[in-house]
Amino acid sequence: MSGSTAPPLKVCEFYSGIGGYHIALSRIPALSYHVAAAFEISSNANSIYRANFPNTKVVETNLCGLTAARLDSILSKAGSVTSRGEMMTSRGEMTSPDEMVTSREEVMFVMSPPCQPFTRQGTKKDDLDPRSESVLHLFNIFPDLSSLPDYFLLENVQGFESSNTRKKIMQFFNRHSYHVAEFLLNSNELGIPNSRLRYYLLARRRPFHENLQSVLTKNNDFLSSIPGIQSLPTSASPPLSKFLEADPVGYQLPDKFQGKWGWVLDIVTPSSTRSCCFTKGYSVKAEGSGSVLQLAPDLTDSSLLISDDK
């Protein structure tokens, strides 16, 4: 909305967890937004979310039971209290110039549905997995809302892009004439020292900015980079030390574990500019579940962790 101010973006956060999307929104320069509600079934996650964002309405619910009428009510009752002091003046490369014609409050739905039905090490039951039921239910009730959201942002694991669940969701976007951009992006190419390839979907009622639209027109596949943003080599990422606690007490691996499994561990140091993707097997499985941090300055050879009786 270049050249004019706009009401704050009203956001609904589904599968909100501890507030990852909320903190991401807060780091977008010059974005004025208001999280109308955060929906999450986990009481533990909700306790942390409330501690992080005490002014946000948290709805502890099974999304399979959410109705369009209830969602409409929550959206209509949500005030326009902004989470940033300044009004939005630009949405960058994703914005079409014709958005200057409206000053109404726009709505965005963000979500990261359960990934277990699509993971490489999972059962890959896809839309037959009970954990896919909630996201399919959401896209079944969205058409019954008093007005459709202006924007969607959906994230999931690699594998979601070839799923039946995605195909069903795309039917909603096609039926309601959304403009859609899909990405497979790795965080280690965006200046984050962690390898985490993920699927991202952006959808909006109006056309994208012409720069992005031209890329989408020429490319029918999933984009592996963000137009206008150069992918970075792993060496260009900041070191892990910038993300670590000052004194990570209580996380030391037992000597017995190191002696038995040291030869398969992915070992990184505070100066490393990379680490492996963390999975739910972290701290349970030694191999393929994430990196371990070496703090001992005099231990430079991971082979020293290999036990003779491995």
The residue ranking higher by pLDDT, 42 or 29, is 42
Residue 12 annotated in active site:
no
**Mean pLDDT value of segment 229-254:** 82
Q: 306 with 262: CB under 8 angstroms?
A: yes
pLDDT at residue 85 in the model: 35
pLDDT at residue 79 in the model: 62
- Of 167, 199, 196, 162, the closest CA to residue 184 belongs to 199
Question: Model confidence at 306, in pLDDT bands (50, 70, 90)?
Answer: very low
pLDDT at residue 176 in the model: 98
Instruction: Give the full edge-to-edge strand order of the sheet including 58-60.
Output: 58-60, 33-40, 9-14, 107-111, 151-157, 197-204, 179-186
Distance of CA 168 to the CA centre of its chain: 20
User: What's the pTM value of the predicted model, to 2 decimals?
Assistant: 0.85
How many Cβ atoms are within 10 Å of 233's Cβ, its own excluded? 9
Question: Averaging pLDDT over each range in 167-171, 219-223, 276-280, which range is the top one?
Answer: 167-171
The residue ranking higher by pLDDT, 98 or 55, is 55
Is the per-residue pLDDT at 3 higher than 50?
A: no
Encoded amino acid at 168, one letter: K
- Catalytically annotated residue among 12, 64, 115, 276: 115
Encoded amino acid at 188, one letter: N
**Per-residue tokens: 200:** 């991202």
Question: Model confidence at 113, in pLDDT bands (50, 70, 90)?
Answer: very high
Give every CB contact of residue 271 below 8 A, 6+ residues apart in sequence: 239, 240, 241
Question: Model confidence at 307, in pLDDT bands (50, 70, 90)?
Answer: very low
Give every CB contact of residue 218 below 8 A, 6+ residues apart in sequence: none
Question: Model confidence at 120, in pLDDT bands (50, 70, 90)?
Answer: confident
**Mean pLDDT value of segment 42-63:** 97
In the chain, what percentage of residues exceed pLDDT 90? Answer: 59
